[in-house]
Amino acid sequence: MDPHPPQFVTEAIEPEGIERTLRGALELQRAAYRRAPMPSLEERREHLRTLKRFVLENQEPLCATISADYGHRSRHESLLAEIMPSIDGIDDAIRHLPKWMKPQRRSVDRMVFGFASNRVVPQPVGVVGVIVPWNFPINLTVVPLTAIFAAGNRAMVKMSENSRHLARLMIERLPAYFPPEKLQVFDETGGVGIEFSKLPFDHLIFTGSGRTGRAVMAAAAENLTPVTLELGGKAPAVVCDDFPLRLAAERILYVKYLNAGQICTTVDHVFVPRAQVEAFAKLAAEIVPQRYPSIDSPDYTSVIDQRAFDRLVHGLEDAKAHGARLVNLLPGPAFDVASRKISPHIVLDAPWEAELMQREIFGPILPVVPYDALDEVIDRINDGPRPLALYPFSYDSARIDRLLDHVMSGGVSINDALLHVGQHDLPFGGIGESGMGHYHGREGFETFSKLRPIFHQSRWSTVSLLYPPYGKLAERMLSFLIR
């Protein structure tokens, strides 16, 4: 096997060459890790500064190539959701890294172990694989890399088949910032993802669908590779009758139609008190056109590809066939095939057997679900898989506590949506079918570190008093310690 593969892959790899190329890249990084397994604080900070420099120096081309991959993606949404949190997260890691790297002192049972000492030392695990989705491809590359580099590791990144323009840009420009033994990026040219997930990484992080996540986890299990899975699910908002309806609508609708709803932590559907459903629909019809005057607005993003577009249109048609009312919130057509834009919609009276209610929507469609009692909402959410996020809206702390106590989710934003994801000092991660493991901030550093427990024996060991042959001393000592 060639220990020096091509630095970055720009063309389709022949099927028989995919495994050889990927394994060659892994061997190169693993050999570099063995030569220098414990980068210093300054080396790690320099890697993070270099990552930041790459994002800042290329931010306009990055936004442009993401838009090309989408068909159209709002530049401001790319700056807001991709560039800004990436830079902010790097700065946060640089600032906190000395504290994160510091060995932790742990207590010792002096009665048994005398003057020995304990500590936990965070050390790099080695080479980390990152499988990146298409919806926020810079954010979901740079944020994991921030934690991976802060922890002192090396990384191989596999981009989505829907991020071909962006992948090409990164493959062309990243070698000026990082050598291949530190970072390599691979385009999805067909079959790359399958082989990538089979590699014996020291850790693998995947963001994407639950179905693909199961396949990735199964492949990683062959190598006992630990995985962090960030999946999705039907994240609900719950509006209580004490919360101002307009304020709830303004916040929920902003998050729902950001990136045309193509966010794993967006509001999938909203529970609204039955008496307020029509008022919520009226407010939506007022608020959304003020933000997006038409479907052609440059601030409104396209659906990523034809398959997703067709799925969403079919979901609307299926809901209508089930008796739901479809409300197009913008003047003009409900969708445009040429631009792959679907107008923001709310859906009223959709039964639970409708397709929109059975699977994650991942598009600009918001079902509004009436309810009469909070326990109905709790039971309905708990009847499905645990969501990646929960968004309760209430000023009543008892109601909030009831929802938090009785509905488990990956994360929570109270009286808003999505914003918990942007908090660097909060871990991000799912539970159950919405994922496993955490990253962001300190939790990201620890996820990609081995928190290595180290016991240091003193010059004289009290345990030596318990060496065999066992006699009266051992009997007395054990009786004392057990008692």
Catalytic residues: 230, 264
Using DSSP bridges, classify how beta strands 335-336 and 341-342 pair: parallel, antiparallel or unpaired.
Answer: antiparallel
Asked if 348 contacts 307 with a C-beta cutoff of 8 angstroms, the reply is no
Element (H, E) at 181: none
Bridge-partner residues for 233, per DSSP? Answer: none
Of 130, 159, 170, residue with least CA distance to 147? 130
Beta strands in 125-171 (DSSP E): 127-131, 154-158
Rounded (10°) CA dihedral 301, 305, 309, 311 = -140
Interatomic CA distance for residues 147 and 239, integer angstroms: 35
The tokens for 132 are: 């990146």
Of 307, 326, 306, residue with least CA distance to 316? 326
Interatomic CA distance for residues 82 and 147, integer angstroms: 16
Backbone CA torsion sign across 229, 230, 233, 239 = positive
Asked if 210 contacts 359 with a C-beta cutoff of 8 angstroms, the reply is no
The tokens for 21 are: 């190329």
Of 290, 292, 291, 270, residue with least CA distance to 281? 270
